Structure 1
Amino acid sequence: MSKDTITIDTQHGGMIHDAQLDYYGKLLATCSSDNIIRIYSIENGSSDLACEITEHSGPVWRVAWSHPKFGSLLASCSYDGTVKIFSIDKDKSYSTVYVYSGHKASVNGVAWAPYEYGLCLAAVSSDGSMSIHYLANETEWKSQSVLVCRSGCSSVSWCPYRPTASEGVIILRVAVGAGDSCVHVLKCLSSPVNPWEVESKLRGHSDRVRDVSWCPFIGFPVNMIASCGRDCQLCIWSQKNGDAWTTCHKQTYTDPVWRVSWSITGNLLAVSHGVDQVDLWKEMIDGSWRIVNREEKN
């Protein structure tokens, strides 16, 4: 085992559904089927339980840290149908700053918008809708909802911020993994408070899309989205110069594919599949995609 590897016994009483480090890599949030969120302080190669959040009444599916520009905020979503935002204080205590109960079914995914758009959170639900939550002033949160797919939504990821002077107006986009086997790309103009609409549907999966991840901006006029589905497929989608989306890579696994996640620099794609495996995919000079590393638990 590498000396840089830390093993944490979370002592959750159920399956762990998500684990996210904050911006600085100092706090790790985990969430579980036991309805609990735990936050660990990571320092000098060791971990300590900083606080435990027991505000949900159902399994907690996802957690997401805000950009530090807005403080230490943690968003969560749950089978109980709520979206919650907690403020984590310097003494590692927490307070609930926002609760949204407008969804009619399990809320399956949450993601913060790029900080350039202000303090804004997207959430998607099994009721088929996406809700957008934003801080209207110093104390008041507001929200809006848009129907994406009647078959339900499982995951959401924001397009990274990038200047779009040639378009004359900033266009915000999100990718949503849905139950109709499609990745839905939604857009709105200038600000997340404006109306949202479906811009594109990416068709390539043959079953429910489990996860989506928008590749970080790496300096080229290319959009790239990774998705995985219940059909055991990994799809990597590409859009150049605003043209139509195309599938630049597709891989069929022999075991379930659960999550996809890009590296910060956008040059590596991590794909978790099976019981305990992670593949790292990289695009080669010739445009092909190859696994450059594979971690398998012994």
Structure 2
Amino acid sequence: MFVARSIAADHKDLIHDVSYDFHGRRMATCSSDQSVKVWDKSDDGEWHCTASWKTHSGSVWRVTWAHPEFGQVLASCSFDRTAAVWEEIVGESNDKQRGLSHWIKRTTLVDSRTSVTDVKFAPKHMGLVLATCSADGVVRIYEAPDVMNLSQWSLQHEISCKLSCSCISWNPSSSRAHPPMIAVGSDDNNVTYSGKVQIYEYNENTRKYTKAETLMTVTDPVHDIAFAPNLGRSFHVLAIATKDVRIFKLIPLRRESTTSSGPTKFEVQVMAQFDSHNSQVWRVSWNITSTLLASSGDDGCVRLWKANYMDNWKCTGILRGDGSPVNGSSVQGAALGAVGSGGAQTQNSVVGAASAGRKKAQLMPG
């Protein structure tokens, strides 16, 4: 049986995002109260707030962790048109703060003219690379050339998506057969624009990102998007949160030698589509093996989706925002990933914060 646990997050306004670190032992939350909080999981399974600070001068939409290979590093983005990078510093032995940690701002990224709606670190094999997207329809990709100096970031790419951007997801595949790839979702309300999800791929020859695919069947505003972890697959799996939950399979087509310089062409298949939330879906997130997808929506529930051996996806569990199971549904905790922007590594899931925003975070320990 799978149970939920409530955390008194003590944010003064709506919580917009929850993110786990790589190991699932730390968690960050962000809110319209302009703050970010960091939580650490103790040995007894309890979560304790170890840091809280004002990060921006507007609502903080997203917070995300870098890979721990680069230290304890967070990025946040806000309605104030900026993104920021934060690093945890542990006090030196001669410091009166000895052994105590504090978070300091390493840089502010100020290129956007409008609200910065999402921020994501690239897979670690690409180095310390950060992507942002904005309501101005531009995805910006930054790189820290010296990972020991996080105050220096250079803008490497600007991708114009034509539609206001709401969310981004890096393809995590480290296969040489798969160039760096980023998916972008738009929450544009104009129904005359179809294709609210665009996929861009890095071209080694031109050293630019070019559009490889547009998912024309996605016509409603997109709130979240998540590539599944790729454990040696030749194809890619992408989950989308819109007015329902959709799972797409992107199968790279074999290149003809004459067109080898262009972006990869894909066969796009819809693997699954669920409207069980009967409302807007706000977050989707995979577990580390990409066998389980969690989604949260305005119905106040987290729903868990799993494929059987025939590749048919079914709901395997439902939990309400207050943590109570629906219709006695139970889930094996060991299989569960996180709902929130990061932490597919962890066996905890977040309900309340990942929905339209609550002042308490709901945890479901595995």
1:176 maps to 2:219: no
* Residue aligning to 1:22: 21
Q: Distance in 2 between matches of 1:189 and 1:34?
A: 40
Identify the match of residue 251 of structure 1 among 265, 274, 281.
274
Identify the match of residue 161 of structure 1 among 163, 173, 185.
173
2:247 touches 2:271 (CA, 8 Å); kept in 1?
Answer: yes
Q: Distance in 1 between matches of 2:213 and 2:238?
A: 13
Runs of 4+ in 1 over 3 A off after TM superposition: none
Question: Is the alpha carbon distance of 1:76 and 1:194 closer, same or farther for their aligned partners in structure 2, counting shifts above 3 Å?
Answer: farther
Match runs of 1:1-298 below 5 Å: 6-44=5-43, 45-90=45-90, 91-137=100-146, 138-139=148-149, 140-164=152-176, 167=177, 171-178=179-186, 179=188, 180=193, 181-190=195-204, 194-229=207-242, 232-242=243-253, 243-253=266-276, 254-296=278-320, 297=322, 298=324
CA drift at 1:214 = 0.2
Q: What amino acid does structure 2 have at the position aligned with 1:222? A: F
CA drift at 1:205 = 2.3
Structure 2: gaps of 5 or more residues: 91-99, 254-265, 325-366
Q: Distance in 2 between matches of 1:51 and 1:127?
A: 32
Q: What amino acid does structure 2 have at the position aligned with 1:238? A: K
Compare the two structures and name the one with the higher strand fraction.
1
Using structure 1 for the length normalisation, give the TM-score.
Answer: 0.91
Q: Distance in 2 between matches of 1:187 and 1:241?
A: 12
CA drift at 1:240 = 2.5
Higher relative contact order (CA 8 A, sep 6+): 2
Q: What amino acid does structure 1 have at the position aligned with 2:201? A: K
CA drift at 1:133 = 1.1
1:112-161 per-position Cα deviation (integer Å, ceiling 9, x unaligned): 11101100011111010001111123433101343443330000111013
1:124 touches 1:155 (CA, 8 Å); kept in 2?
Answer: yes
Q: Distance in 2 between matches of 1:6 and 1:20?
A: 17
CA drift at 1:208 = 1.3
1:49-107 per-position Cα deviation (integer Å, ceiling 9, x unaligned): 21112130000011000101000000001011101000012332011112101001111
CA drift at 1:41 = 2.0
Identity of paired residues, percent? 29
1:205 touches 1:233 (CA, 8 Å); kept in 2?
Answer: no
CA drift at 1:190 = 5.0
CA drift at 1:25 = 2.4
SS in 1 for 2:101: coil
CA drift at 1:194 = 3.5
CA drift at 1:278 = 0.8
Q: Distance in 2 between matches of 1:281 and 1:136?
A: 39
Q: What amino acid does structure 2 have at the position aligned with 1:159? A: N
Q: Distance in 2 between matches of 1:219 and 1:188?
A: 20
Q: Distance in 2 between matches of 1:159 and 1:51?
A: 30
Q: What amino acid does structure 2 have at the position aligned with 1:75? A: A
SS in 2 for 1:196: strand
SS in 2 for 1:94: strand
Structure 1: gaps of 5 or more residues: none
SS in 2 for 1:24: coil
Q: Distance in 1 between matches of 2:157 and 2:58?
A: 22
Q: Distance in 2 between matches of 1:213 and 1:200?
A: 16
1:126 touches 1:152 (CA, 8 Å); kept in 2?
Answer: yes
Q: Distance in 1 between matches of 2:140 and 2:159?
A: 9
